[in-house]
Amino acid sequence: MNDFVTNDGFEICISCDKPTKVKRDAPVKSRKYYIEGAGQMCKSCYDAIIEKLKIMHQNLNNEEI
Ligand SMILES: [Zn+2]
């Protein structure tokens, strides 16, 4: 198992390896920037991914038309 946690108990972003502000023992449902099946991300990586997904989605829709 990967251990994406800092020494002081904070989750580490799965994308950029920087520590996040989310405690390891925080419930998943209360977390921000958490992607199920992937893991915890920091705000900037999460925003970047969401933006990419939006663009992909738009492109798909455009191709269908
Ligand atoms: Zn990150």
- Which pLDDT belongs to residue 39? 93
The Å distance, Cα 58 to ligand 1 centre, comes to 24
3-state secondary structure (DSSP) of residue 32? coil
**Residue reference for tokens 């449902």:** 29
**pLDDT (average), residues 10-28:** 95
Residue 3 tokens, joined: 């251990």
Helices (H) and strands (E) in the chain, counts: 1, 4
DSSP code string of 13-28:
-TTT--EEEEETTS-G
Residues with CB under 5 A from ligand 1 (ion): 13, 15-16, 42, 45
- Which pLDDT belongs to residue 59? 93
The pTM (predicted TM-score) of the whole model is 0.77
The Å distance, Cα 62 to ligand 1 centre, comes to 30
- Which pLDDT belongs to residue 1? 47
**pLDDT (average), residues 15-31:** 94
**pLDDT (average), residues 41-62:** 94
Residue 24 · residue 9 · CB < 8 Å: yes
How do the domains of the chain map onto residue ranges?
Answer: 10-64
Residue 29 tokens, joined: 């449902």
DSSP character at residue 1: -
